[in-house]
Structure 1
């Protein structure tokens, strides 16, 4: 079997991401499991695992990866760094026709690159195989608590990025002592489950949406909200999940009762642009709008949450939003009338070691047997571009790459 050369490419997107696709130990494991695969590590000053840690385990360090066949990265590869006629795996953020990455996909097609998107790696049931969702939820919920502590002045905990790993983070969030506030969390997937790890770890009691809206508590509580809890059928009638996911445009917002009861809102649910927004700016101007802090893990810009005007960064994680003027106030915690927003779009990068380790485990266990052996359809389903063309499942992107979308 011919040798396949795999490059662990350095992350070039700014701000730089510290995650890796494979830890040093996992790079060795990959070669043992697939003897025809040879791994090279492109030098980088920013990884959570150092170049020397790879080199010590026999992984060659290189600056030029043009001799490699497959390029493994995490975030989008900067256009000038794309190498023609190679196979790339990374999160391309193009499948929703994201305007900011149109030129990236155009260049991938022009350079005859085979693009395999992690987000589209699924099993036969359509469930995603690899994702950083759990760690996005963990860090997002932690950052929500961090922001609430800063805004209220009740406590001060370290930033997640300053914690060595998840165990260190757990020690830190155990210090949080909350007053009897209410926390709303949307979502049912990996992100929400990660967020609930933090809520439960802090000792915040989970209550039902009904209890959340109808009762007062002498302790902090949170409610996990599903789409059935905050979307309403237009014109009335029973809610059908099947109908909602197929025709979300036929529903309207029903989140407003929660805005009147919530102090901290953690947004962890996937949002379809055809679906109702959660609430409007006008709702935020009402006297009964209670939310003081929004931790928007989903970070859909100008999407379901009107205050998410732009992403925040790991270095500057929070801004204030003035609903009266509909504008961002860069210096947070300046006015109690403002809502403080945390909307970091690469949250797992604050726990890069744990997030990378988990990601690499799933690559080795589920993805690489298909990539380096016989594909059961997983790789084909995730291949957006090949031989200079969009593949059949992604022909809907044609108007996007041709500049008409």
Structure 2
């Protein structure tokens, strides 16, 4: 390890990605600990760059990491990298979504292979028991359930725009006269599930909370009898489908909105194979069928960006102490590295 640890917080190139892996207050903590922290300018990050400069960070132009990040540094981000450079180096920390057979996973791993770089995937930042140590789950669940409720009430406005929690909560509390909504959250005990339940309660909807006991012998009739389904499971092994094509056309179906927070589309872990692509901020809702009644799905894979300030602060609070351990041979980061090595080692020769 170099004497001075170099971290480079990159600009997020994905449209509508307003979050930051590190917020200015926690960036200060790292700078005070002796870490050299460079922050790229960004036209969309919820925290202005001058707030990072004021706590001692160096500032660089956006998207300058390919040419300016030190060879022994770490490029820190959240969502996917731009298509170039084709050869990736040095070391990157972000949500790579590359270990479950997702679309584009092999191409990303081959870019690291070509450049000799390393991916320390934030999804693999876990303790010895496999529990995630830094995650956006709570706010993903909160945003996903909120959008489902707003859509069910006919009050979801597209394209989506980022909000503060007070703004979103004000919208959730505006219920429809005479309304009696029912909702089920699958994976209710996890981070995302707890966030979803909190949002539903804010909206005046007391959810049914399902977990592994309820899905082990799934009661589809009971599931279809709800107005809203929020899928918030976290799993590393395939599970049986919660809904099938046949269920969509069941004449008894009351279910009209699915909030797919987990959004494992394109993966063998997808528990909702009735849809196969994510939605986006311009078109957040996809109609799955019209009969016997309309059934829609919301499947955004960057839900916490709807509440970027709250989500970033919560995530950064969990991440910054772990970044201090990059100075040492930490078991936490060693597990991340080993996960990357296993995935890269599984690539076949072209």
* TM exceeding 0.5: yes
How far is the alpha carbon of 1:17 from its aligned partner? 1.5
Moved more, 289-298 or 61-70: 61-70
Match of 1:101 among 105, 109, 112: 105
**3-state DSSP of counterpart to 1:230:** helix
Count residues with an aligned counterpart. Answer: 338
**3-state DSSP of counterpart to 1:266:** strand
Q: Distance in 2 between matches of 1:83 and 1:7?
A: 18
Q: Structure 2: 5+ residue runs without aligned partners?
A: none
Q: Distance in 2 between matches of 1:160 and 1:368?
A: 35
Q: Distance in 2 between matches of 1:260 and 1:96?
A: 29
- Whether the aligned pair in 2 keeps the contact of 1:71 and 1:88 (CA below 8 Å) is yes
Change (3 A) 1:16 1:305: same
Q: Distance in 2 between matches of 1:8 and 1:85?
A: 15
Q: Distance in 1 between matches of 2:224 and 2:130?
A: 37
Alignment match, 1:20: 20
Alignment match, 1:212: none
- Whether the aligned pair in 1 keeps the contact of 2:137 and 2:195 (CA below 8 Å) is yes
Alignment match, 1:228: 213
Change (3 A) 1:319 1:260: closer
Q: Is residue 360 from structure 1 mapped to residue 306 from structure 2 by the alignment? A: no
How far is the alpha carbon of 1:160 from its aligned partner? 11
Change (3 A) 1:60 1:297: same
- Whether the aligned pair in 2 keeps the contact of 1:319 and 1:341 (CA below 8 Å) is yes
- Whether the aligned pair in 2 keeps the contact of 1:231 and 1:255 (CA below 8 Å) is no
How far is the alpha carbon of 1:38 from its aligned partner? 0.9
Alignment match, 2:259: 295
Alignment of 1:6-405 (within 5 A): 6-12=7-13, 14-32=14-32, 34-35=33-34, 37-63=35-61, 64-65=64-65, 66-68=68-70, 69-81=73-85, 84-150=88-154, 156=155, 162=161, 164-177=163-176, 179-187=179-187, 188-205=189-206, 222-232=207-217, 254-271=218-235, 274-301=238-265, 303-322=270-289, 337-365=293-321, 367-372=322-327, 374-384=328-338, 391=341, 394=342, 398-399=345-346, 401-402=347-348
How far is the alpha carbon of 1:272 from its aligned partner? 5.4
Superposed CA deviations along residues 44-84 of structure 1, whole A, max 9, x for unmatched, are 21111122332344422212332431110001212414775
**3-state DSSP of counterpart to 1:321:** strand
**3-state DSSP of counterpart to 1:44:** coil
Q: Distance in 1 between matches of 2:159 and 2:196?
A: 14
Alignment match, 1:329: none
Change (3 A) 1:104 1:319: same
Change (3 A) 1:51 1:70: same
- Whether the aligned pair in 2 keeps the contact of 1:284 and 1:323 (CA below 8 Å) is no
Alignment match, 2:3: 2
Backbone CA RMSD of aligned residues: 2.5
Q: Structure 1: 5+ residue runs without aligned partners?
A: 151-155, 206-221, 233-253, 325-335
Q: Distance in 2 between matches of 1:275 and 1:306?
A: 11
- Whether the aligned pair in 2 keeps the contact of 1:297 and 1:343 (CA below 8 Å) is yes
Q: Distance in 1 between matches of 2:160 and 2:313?
A: 17
- Whether the aligned pair in 1 keeps the contact of 2:38 and 2:59 (CA below 8 Å) is yes
Q: Distance in 1 between matches of 2:223 and 2:170?
A: 31
Change (3 A) 1:160 1:29: farther
Highest Rg: 1 or 2? 1
Q: Distance in 2 between matches of 1:44 and 1:82?
A: 22
